[in-house]
Structure 1
Amino acid sequence: MEDESSIAMLYEELLEAYGFEVVGVAKNGEEAVTKYKSFSIKPDVIIMDHRMPIKTGIEATEEILAFDKNAKIIFASADETIKQVALSIGALIFEEKPFDNKTLIEDINQLLGS
């Protein structure tokens, strides 16, 4: 879930190049929660940005995990001071922006157990 469309498009292209299917992109935290709840088959991994309009990544992560405690969330932010909060509420991995593509793919594979 990334509010900057150019970055979201880069994530999408990267993930598809590695064979992953992107099932949704949200422009803000509220949309992220709404989309997640609407999926009959939940995504295997969520990449959550911190600074988003309407609801922050922290708020969206809390709501998604309250709805589905098994959601696997990679939290991404340029603000490392938010790392402990993100991990304490249930994000499984924190990536400080900017991060390299290889690291993101490794994180996803780690969460998928492959």
Structure 2
Amino acid sequence: MLPIVNIRLNDAPADRELMTVSGWDPTIRDRFESCHSIASFAPTAEQYCKAFTMCCSMQFDPNNGDKCQTNEQRCIPLEEGGADAVCIQRNCTELVTTTTTTTPAPIIEEEPINTARSTPREIK
């Protein structure tokens, strides 16, 4: 199993700007964790990159699912071991956040229906 993957960005400001996501953006999907968990079983950095790239490519489908329009991916084996890996998809269908209600449902107590009268009726 490969050591933890090294994530390094180039020193060029333009590259840093592309790779930095400030805050949460509902139109961006970072698939690194998912693809890393699959590729991390590879015995070499080259095989890791092959699996990582395949995973990233398979998660990119501009016509279905998240409908992401751009796929920014790379995986470069490093001499010291590990890899420089990125899998970010942009211009995706916006994620909608939802909240779960924590208020308990109201308790409705129904009174029993009694069809028998308390006083007997006289039959003639």
TM range (shorter): under 0.3
TM-score by length of structure 2 reads 0.26
TM-score by length of structure 1 reads 0.27
| Higher-Rg member (1/2) | 2
